[in-house]
Amino acid sequence: MKNAELLVHMLEEAGVRWIFGIPSGPVLPLIEALRKSSIEFVLTVSETSAGFMAQTVGNLTGVPGVCVSTLGPGATNLATGVGSAWLDRSPLIAITCNVGTEWLERRIQMRIDHHALFQPLTKATLPLRCGRGGEAGARALTLASAEPPGPVHLDLPEDVALAETSESSKIVGRGEPLPDISADVAEKLTAVLKRSRRPLLVTGLTFTRSKAASRLLKFVETQNIPFISTLHAKGFLPESHPNWAGVLGRARRTDVNEIIRKADVIVAVGFDPVEINYEEWLGKIPLIHISTEASDVGPDITLLLNESGDLDRAIQRMNEIAPLPNDWSESELAAHRRILERSLRPDCRGLAPHHVLDILRKKLPPDAILAYDVGAHTHQIATQWRTDHSWSCLATNGWSSMGYGMPAAYAAKLVYPDRVVVGVVGDGCFQMTVGELATARRLGLAVPIIVLNDGWLGLMKVKQERKGYALSGVYLGQPPESPPHYFGVSCRSARDERSLRDAIDWSLKLEGPSVIEAFVDVEPYSLTVFD
């Protein structure tokens, strides 16, 4: 068995089903090993997309997603996707295939120090060497999944990949168990809730890895506490629930902040400041932080509790707290939601982004997966789109890289071929990853991509307006007519609600990918997106 085959075998045993990337000379030994395995190699258009797709698979399955590149420019392209997994806490293995070991310290074409490149973007960067490949592979798989999950980089020289090995697969560990904090949490939280009249629950990125969502919902209902979430935590508590009060830091944040300012204590469960710092929204409200990691807040934050450990056991124990009265009323929360819903839908002469989202929401089944990109539409979707299903809204928040949405949608369809998956991207994001339509066509992925085409980098336009700057460097040009296809993927345009409905119906009946260019008015973003 060759070292490349050993690595592939270990990935198979770990449950890896796909590896995303682009081949080159040094990658070919790995490609050959994959050909003989049950793992499918998915050829992407760019290494960046490979990273985004691997990240998405890792999030949706819990098994580390895997991406691969060649050396030099392949590695630097891959780094953007790896960085996304780093700051969005996604389990991922990034493999760079390198020149032979004798050339690793020489100045030659394409060679850079991969370990220096990936060190700030990963939990570890490990060399694969003869006689120690199994050890490195096992460590990578263990580290990638250990709390908090994240990417691990493996560097595979070509001669090592081709060399015979007598190693066998190493046992992959599960990481150290987290400490039990449940007793302290229950005791201190009980004392705080007894004094509080307006507690508010906030969930975030770490909560998406919890297995206790139903138990936290029971806690919400028992204590009658309203809740808001971050972008990543959408749907992990049902957004149709009467206690749902919005999404933190997104569209119409002024309305959501009204609820926050009424609170006298924030109970943050599974909150990760990588999405949005406490200092950006908390103000002087006292904070209870319960997560797998302690909070790193500044001195101006009033911390009543800062517990880090086993989140699921803590949530379970929270349900043992007897019901305690507070001053929140059903009518107050209902009035807040009505104001929020109206504010998200300003009057507009033409087709607006909020029209597109409302129509799409009505057309899709409740458990449909929506993958979306970065821009003004991110803010709009986060607050306007309602879902009661976990991992049904896929976005990047910690990293926030444009170009994420389309690769994420296609990866989600690989994982869930029987579910409806739709991508929504801005026109700027679409230009970055339009080539991946060829990937979707080759794979036969029935995923409609809806492009919100307004001719602007919409979020940057809003920010320039807010700061009093002249509009500069953010105009993409007057939207042209849609072509009949992109790379053989059929395309339709929509300039009003009727044509949009027809186009969505058309796309959902197809057996392959499609594009809908919705020509929308950019101006409503100025009324809904505050930054």
Q: Model confidence over 427-452: pLDDT tens digits?
A: 999 999 999 999 999 999 999 999 99
Q: Is the alpha carbon torsion for 339, 529, 413, 61 positive or negative?
A: negative
> What is the Cα gyration radius of the chain?
24
Burial category of 215 from C-beta neighbours within 10 Å (exposed 0-12, middle 13-18, buried 19 and up): middle
pLDDT of 343 strictly over 70: yes
Of 39, 148, 36, nearest to 86 (Cα)? 148
Instruction: Give the position of tokens 């020289």.
Output: 157
Q: Give me the mean pLDDT over the 191-214 stretch.
A: 98
Confidence of residue 478 (pLDDT cuts 50, 70, 90): confident
For residue 531, is pLDDT > 60?
A: no
Q: What CATH number belongs to 182-337?
A: 3.40.50.1220
Helices (H), 385-455: 405-415, 427-433, 436-443
Neighbours of 57 (CB within 10 A): 29
Query: Average pLDDT of 147-168?
Result: 94
Residues 448 and 507: beta-carbon distance below 8 Å: yes
What superfamily in CATH does domain 3-162 come from?
Thiamin diphosphate (ThDP)-binding fold, Pyr/PP domains (3.40.50.970)
Query: In 303-384, where do the E strands start and end?
Result: 303-308, 369-372
Tell whether the model's pLDDT for residue 31 goes beyond 80.
Answer: yes
The class (CATH top level) of 346-528 is alpha beta
Q: Please give the structure tokens belonging to residue 112.
A: 């850079």
Instruction: State the Cα–Cα distance between residues 458 and 481, nearest whole angstrom.
Output: 19
β-sheet bridge partners, residue 68: 21, 95
Q: Between the CA of residue 475 and those of 220, 456, 523, what are the distances in Å?
A: 45, 5, 13
Domain boundaries, the chain: 3-162, 182-337, 346-528
Residue 308 has pLDDT above 70, yes or no: yes
CB 207 within 8 A of CB 308: no
Asked if the model's pLDDT at residue 174 lies above 80, the reply is: no
User: Do the Cβ atoms of 269 and 247 come closer than 8 Å?
Assistant: no
**Cβ within 8 Å of residue 275, ≥6 positions away:** 204, 205, 230, 231, 232, 248, 249, 397, 398
User: What type of residue is 116?
Assistant: A
CA angle 447, 448, 453 (to 5 degrees): 145
pLDDT tens for 67-90 read: 999 999 999 999 999 999 999 999
- Per-residue pLDDT at 110: 67
CA gap 372, 404 in Å, rounded: 7
Cα(522)–Cα(350) distance, integer angstroms? 10
Q: Are 182-337 and 346-528 the same fold in CATH?
A: yes
